[in-house]
Amino acid sequence: MKRILSLALVVSLIPLSGCSDDTTRVSTTDTIAAEARQNKDADLIRINDRVYQLSDAPVTLTQADVKSFATVTKQLTANEPLAEGMATDWPAGTKLYRGDTTGVIYISEKNQTYMYEAIPEG
């Protein structure tokens, strides 16, 4: 009987092994942001849980094609991680726009429009 109780106790403790109290989790967006920051020249924006990078594609659209949806809350400093609302090359207050295309945002500044494309997961 002691053997059975001992075995039952050991078996009941097995699911607890390997568990930790560490509740720190790194989101996919955090990982994408950290990887994108490896390129110190990358022009990045993190907004709405996505990381966007400046596109080389030519942009031809008007204010009527887009709507304002957010602003940059902080410009990134040297070794700071890219957090929500931050941009590497744009100051706080810069307005962000989006159109009908998913995964694309725009900045319109000084008669020039810049397109940023979301960095895909994976």
Of 89, 95, 92, 105, the closest CA to residue 55 belongs to: 105
- Return the ∠ at Cα 39 (arms to 55 and 109), rounded to 5°: 40
What 8-state DSSP symbol labels residue 52? Answer: E
pLDDT in tens, 32-47: 999 999 998 999 999 9
Structure tokens of 14?
Answer: 């097995």
pLDDT in tens, 94-112: 999 999 888 999 999 888 8
Query: Which residues of the chain are modeled with pLDDT < 70?
Result: 1-24
pLDDT on residue 18? 54
Cβ burial of 65 (10 Å; 0-12, 13-18, 19+) is middle
Task: Answer yes or no: pTM beyond 0.85.
Answer: no
